Chain A
Amino acid sequence: MKLETVEQRHKFIDDMVKKAFAFEESLIHDPEHGDDWAGAMSTVENLVTIEEFIRTEQIFLDTFGAMEEIRTHDDSGKEIALNIVNDSLLEFIDTILLRRVEFAHDRLDDWDFVTEGGVKFKKSFCRKLNTLIKTYQDIYDL
């Protein structure tokens, strides 16, 4: 899956939320494997927050776009204003969004799943979160 645009990344995380939620639901009536259920639930929570942060990234980018559209003869002035926003976007990605993705990954990676489904879920979702981490590091040069 391509992840170059924020829309693609948003769709990617949205699919993850849906799948993780479905997995969590499938365990809900399995009291014997409460730990797997708790691991899935904590992942869902993290994914939901990441989804909201990607929407924040989208708001940043849309704002940047709106500022770019402003007509002016003062091109260097526009560049100063855009640079300020760009620096803030980088700070947001680095200190908030990426950190939460890394947190979600590490937490899932540390979780001991016992069911076969849980082990598969962990493997697949750790890989997806890793893909997302690498994507952000590449795109924003972090």
Chain B
Amino acid sequence: MELDTTEQRQRSVGFLIKEAFAFQETMDTEDKDEDNDWCGASVVLDDLAAVEEMMNAEIIFRDTLAKISSPRLDHLAEKEDYASAFEDGFDNFISDILLSRLYHAADILNDWGFRTERGQNFQENFSDKLAELIAVYENFDELLTEAEDTFEIDTPDARLKVVMT
């Protein structure tokens, strides 16, 4: 799955949430081992729901940065300074809030003693998926720079697009 855009990442988390619910449905909570694995999924689900909301905040940050960097504002003095101050804030949000919650989700998942075979498959599968998301956010700087590069393609069409939005 491609994870380059926030929307793709959000979709990936949405799938994980659905998968975790589906997994829980297959577990019989009257059985001690299956109940234990059900709880493991439950803890991860709380984190995933929070991460999903954080991605909504990420979209707000991203759109704000795009507005501040927009060619429409080229006439503002110190425009680059505003954009760079905002980018620093965006970076802080990603590393202190979103990424730290993803680390938390991965730690809790990896530490959980899953007892059934399906539980262990769930753990392995989710651990891989979380690692992929974490890798994207650890390299968030690069992602931002790429996004900026695309944004700064200053053709009449690109300008028009900005003006239209």
Give the B-binding residues of A (Cβ under 8 A): 45, 48-49, 52-53, 55-56, 59-60, 62-63, 66-67, 70-74, 77-78, 80-81, 84-85, 88, 91-92, 95-96, 100
Beta-carbon contact of B68 and A56 below 8 Å: no
Give the A-binding residues of B (Cβ under 8 A): 46, 50, 53-54, 56-57, 60-61, 63-64, 67-68, 73, 75-79, 81-82, 85-86, 88-89, 92-93, 96-97, 101
In the bound complex, how far is the Cα of B64 from the Cα of A60, in angstroms?
Answer: 11
Beta-carbon contact of A91 and B53 below 8 Å: no
Query: B81 — which chain A residues lie within 8 A by C-beta?
Result: 67, 70
A49-B53, A84-B64 are known contacts. Are A77 and B96 too (CB-CB below 8 A)? no
Query: A77 — which chain B residues lie within 8 A by C-beta?
Result: 75-79
Beta-carbon contact of A49 and B63 below 8 Å: no
In the bound complex, how far is the Cα of B86 from the Cα of A70, in angstroms?
Answer: 12
Shortest beta-carbon distance, B136 to chain A, in Å? 19
Q: Which 9 A-B pairs have the closest CB atoms?
A: A63-B89, A74-B77, A77-B76, A88-B64, A81-B82, A66-B85, A49-B50, A72-B78, A45-B46
A59-B96, A63-B88, A63-B89 are known contacts. Are A52 and B77 too (CB-CB below 8 A)? no
Beta-carbon contact of B97 and A52 below 8 Å: yes
Query: A78 — which chain B residues lie within 8 A by C-beta?
Result: 76, 78, 82
19 A–B contacts from the bound complex (CB under 8 Å): A45-B46, A59-B89, A59-B96, A60-B89, A67-B82, A72-B78, A77-B75, A77-B76, A78-B76, A78-B78, A80-B73, A80-B76, A84-B68, A85-B68, A88-B61, A92-B60, A96-B53, A96-B57, A96-B60
Shortest beta-carbon distance, A25 to chain B, in Å? 16
A67-B82, A81-B68, A91-B60 are known contacts. Are A56 and B93 too (CB-CB below 8 A)? yes
